[in-house]
Amino acid sequence: MEPRDLHTPVLLERCIELLAPAIGTGRRVVVDATLGMGGHAEAMLERFPELHLIGLDRDTDALTIARDRLARFSDRLDLVHTVYDGIGEAVDSLGLDSVDGILFDLGVSSVQLDRSERGFAYSRNAPLDMRMDQTVGRTAADVIATYDEAQLRRIFHVYGEERLAARYAQRIVRERALAPIETSERLVAILQDATPAALSRAGHPAKRVFQALRIEVNSELSVLENAIPDALDAVAVGGRIVVMSYQSLEDRIVKRALQAVTTSTAPPGLPVELPEHRPEFRLLTRGAEIASDEERARNPRATPVRLRAAERTRGRS
């Protein structure tokens, strides 16, 4: 089965609409900072015949799939195995001072969700891995086995926004003393057993814990905090950046970063705004855009998306 049959890119038309003024004509360069299975990349390369695309991904499985999918565009394509906070180094390594467009589609890719052996899905039994790059780093099982109760409580509360964080952390520490917790099935059973009956109907008890473990294993928030400013620095005047987030912690980071570069730096009370105080970017969206009812029905993975975009209006001071 082809990748395009397995995966529907989220907000594809809206992303292209926002990026098109910057990448749609001439020999432009766009960075897909979260390449995944290459759905957004394929659409951009098909529609804009002079466009050159740089695709980044930390997941070697995703890069393999995308390389096959995009093989017919090989003369207009560079693929780089890196976490997206390596965007500045990737652009520099290709001899570029700036790029015309950047797309971030954050969260878990279809490659990771649809392959049960990766351990991202609480609905399927698999080893507790959750690494987006399986060549390096600790696994979710390592976190469960080595973090103390306070550390587990913190990540469940902060990264999962889980109100039963303390209860779940305590139960995990107790159960791992009896036998290692190495599979999603065992962890889910522990969480279900620890959830009061009155709360078990409010949603799957593992959802927020699995989100928290994934964020911790992949350092997602710290990576994003570094990546967005570096990406903004790489955008040429007239260039655009589009970011899709899937949970509030990510969206908050993106919102703050975009607010910083779209706000005047003029001191309060200055009668005239000097050119050097003018914002470097302007927002292209009013707040965060969400998927339409039609898109959510067609593609359930679009349900939590929050899209923000901006355009560089002047060079760096």
Q: What is the pLDDT of residue 235?
A: 98
6-10 own/partner pairs: CB under 8 Å, 24+ apart: 6/37, 6/110, 6/114, 7/36, 7/37, 7/39, 7/110, 7/114, 8/39, 8/298, 8/299, 8/301, 9/39, 9/40, 9/43, 9/105, 10/105, 10/244, 10/291, 10/295, 10/299, 10/301, 10/302, 10/305
What mean pLDDT is predicted for residues 167-180? 98
Task: Report d(CA 109, CA 135) in Å as an integer.
Answer: 17
Question: Does the pLDDT at position 3 exceed 60?
Answer: no
Tens digits of per-residue pLDDT, 34-78? 999 999 999 999 999 999 999 999 999 899 999 999 999 999 999
How much is the pLDDT for 210?
A: 93
- 86, 88, 89, 90: CA torsion to nearest 10: 80
Residue-wise pLDDT for 183-226, tens only, equals 999 999 999 999 998 776 667 888 899 999 999 999 999 999 99
Taking only Cα atoms into account, the Rg of the chain, rounded to an integer number of angstroms, comes to: 21
Rounded Cα gap, residues 130 and 138, in angstroms: 9
- Cβ-Cβ contacts under 8 Å for 289 (sequence gap 6 or more): 11, 14, 306, 307, 308
Q: What is the pLDDT of residues 101-158, one digit of tens each?
A: 999 999 776 655 556 556 667 768 899 999 988 888 899 999 999 999 999 999 999 9
Cα angle at 253 between 264 and 64, to 5 degrees? 125
Strands annotated E in 64-144: 77-81, 99-105
Of the candidates 107, 40, 97, the residue with the CA atom closest to the CA atom of residue 239: 97
Up-side HSE of residue 31: CA atoms within 13 Å toward CB? 34
| pLDDT > 50? residue 234 | yes
3-state secondary structure 16-82: HHHHHHHHCCCCCEEEECCCCCCHHHHHHHHHCCCCEEEEEECCHHHHHHHHHHCHHHHHHEEEEEC
Q: What pLDDT, on the 0 to 100 scale, is given for residue 199? A: 76
The pTM is what? 0.90
2 pLDDT exceeds 60? no
Q: Pick out the residues of the known binding site.
A: 38-40, 57, 84, 105, 112
Q: What is the pLDDT of residues 270-282, one digit of tens each?
A: 777 767 778 999 9
Would you state the pLDDT for residue 311?
Answer: 98
Query: Domains plus CATH for the chain?
Result: 3-111+220-312 (3.40.50.150), 117-218 (1.10.150.170)
d(CA 40, CA 293): 21
- What is the reported pLDDT for 1? 40
pLDDT digits (tens, 9 = 90+) for 81-90: 999 999 999 9
Q: Residues within the annotated binding site for S-adenosyl-L-methionine?
A: 38-40, 57, 84, 105, 112
Return the pLDDT at 113: 59
The CB density around residue 54, as the number of other CB atoms within 10 Å, is 23
pLDDT band at 182 (very low <50, low <70, confident <90, very high): very high
